[in-house]
Structure 1
Amino acid sequence: MLETNSTLERATFGGGCFWCTEAVFQEVKGIQKVISGYSGGNAPGKPTYREVCSGLTGHAEVIQLTFDPKIISYRDLLLIFMTTHDPTTLNRQGADVGTMYRSVIYYHNKEQQQIAKEVFEALKDVFDAPIVTELSELETFYEAEDYHQDYYKTNPRQGYCSYVITPKLNKLRKLHADKLSVK
C-alpha cells in the first residue's frame, strides 16, 4: 500500500508479455517502480507463472507501476501503453497467444476509469481496427516470481528480448522521446 500522505499513484496494465511492458515503462520519467505480476483471474490463491500460462487461472500478465503524477500523468501513461502494444487484438500480442496476453487496463479508482474511457475515445480512429482493450477495476494484484522482475535489464541479449522487446523500445523512443528518462 502507498502511504496516505504520499503523492505517488499506481497504475496496472497488461499488454501481452509483462517483460515487454515492464521494459517500456522502466524508461519513462516519473515512474518510481515497475513490478511484473498477474491480475484478473479467478483461481484461488497466488498463481504461479506456469498456472497463468496454462490459461486456466484467467489471470493476465500485467505490470503495476508506481508513478509520480507531478512528473507524468495517468493520461500520458495510457497513451504510452496504448501506442506501444496492439490494443486491437483479442488475447494476442504478436506470437504470444492466450487470455494471459490480453490487452487490459485495471483501474484503481473512478478517475482512472474515466480517463481510460476518454483515451479510448481519443484513439478510436488512430487504429485500423476497433480497440478491444479490457477496462476493469483492479481487484487483486499478485507479484510474479523474482526471475520475471527486471527481465529485459538482466537479459537484453536473450532471443525474445532482442527480437521483440528491443524493437518495442525503439518505437517507444520514436513516439514518446519527450517522456523518457533514458534516451
Structure 2
Amino acid sequence: MQTFVLAGGCFWCLDAVYRTLHGVTDVVSGYTGGSNPDPTYEQVCTGRTGHAEVVAVTFDPGVIPAHVILDVFFTLHDPRQLNRQGNDVGTQYRSAMFFTSAEQKELFEESVERAADLWEGDIVTVVEPLAEFYPAEAYHQDFFAKNPGQGYCMAVALPKVAKVRKAYAPYVRAA
C-alpha cells in the first residue's frame, strides 16, 4: 500500500473522487502544512493557520498505478489557480503535494511536468515535505456520500466526480 497526501481545493471534492476508484483502500480528509497544532476546520477556514485542506489517499499500486492517482489529481482541480479553486479562496485551498520520501517527491515532480502538458499557463502546484497530518473532524470524512443533496456537493463535487468517472472509466468502481 502507498499513501499520497494531496491538496487541490476543498477536501470534499478530492475525497468524493478518490473513493470511486478501484484500488483506493482509504481516504482521510485532513490538514497539513501549517503552524497550528491540531487545527480545527474553523481555524483552517480563516486562512491564518497556514494549513491546507488535504486528503491522504491510500491505494494498492498493484491495482491502480501511482501515476493514475496523480493524473486524477490534476484532472479534478485547476493547478493554475494560486491559493484558490473556483469560489474557494485562501491558502487553505492551494494546490500542493506533500511527499514522505525522495521517491514520492520524484513521482510528484514528474506528475507536475505531465500536468504542464495538459494545462495552458503556469502550474502553481507546490511539492513539499509532509509535515504533521491532522485528520479533519468526523463529519468531513466521506462528506459527499453522506450529503449528496448538499448545495456544494451538487454544484462543485458532483461534476468533478462525473469528469473523473468518464476520463478514468477503467479504474472506476461500479456506481
TM-score tier by shorter-chain length is over 0.9
In the aligned structure 2, how far is the partner of 1:159 from the partner of 1:38? Answer: 23
Distance 1:166 1:126 in 2: 22
Structure 1 CA distance, aligned partners of 2:141 and 2:115? 30
Report the equivalent of 1:127.
119
- Mapped contact 1:74–1:112 kept (Cα < 8 A): no
SS at structure 2 position matched to 1:136:
strand
Three-state SS of the structure 2 residue aligned to 1:129 is: coil
TM-score (norm 1): 0.93
Structure 1, unaligned runs of 5 or more: 1-7
Bigger CA drift: 99-108 or 114-123? 114-123
Other structure's SS at 2:57 match? strand
Structure 1 CA distance, aligned partners of 2:162 and 2:131? 33
Question: Partners in 1 of 2:129 and 2:174 — Cα distance?
Answer: 31
**Which of the residues 121, 139, 145 maps onto 1:147?**
139
Asked whether the equivalents of residues 91 and 100 of structure 1 are also in contact (C-alpha less than 8 Å), the reply is: yes
Counting only pairs closer than 5 Å after superposition, residues 140-179 of structure 1 correspond to structure 2 as 140-179=132-171
Residue 74 of structure 1 and its aligned partner are, at CA, apart by 1.6
Alignment of 1:1-183 (within 5 A): 8-43=1-36, 45-183=37-175
Report the Cα offset of residue 136 of structure 1: 0.7
Counterpart of 2:165, as a letter, is R
* Counterpart Cα distance in 2 of 1:19 and 1:122: 25
- RMSD (Å) for aligned C-alpha atoms: 1.0
Q: For 2:140 and 2:42, how far apart are their aligned partners in 1?
A: 12
Runs of 4+ more than 2 Å apart:
none
SS in 2 for 1:14: strand
Q: Which amino acid aligns with 2:10?
A: C
The answer to which of 111-120 and 142-151 deviates more is 111-120
The whole-number CA distance in structure 2 between the counterparts of 1:119 and 1:36 is 22
Deviation at 1:116, TM superposition (A): 1.3
The one-letter amino acid paired with 1:110 is A
What is the DSSP-based 3-state SS (H/G/I as helix, E as strand, rest coil) of the residue aligned with 1:161?
helix
Residue type of the alignment partner of 1:41? G
Matches of 1:102 and 1:26, distance apart in 2: 21
Paired residue type of 1:115: L
Residues 10 and 108 in structure 1, CA contact (< 8 A), matched pair in contact too: no
Q: Which amino acid aligns with 1:82?
A: F
Query: Aligned residue pairs: how many?
Result: 175
2-side partners of 1:132 and 1:96: how far apart?
Answer: 16
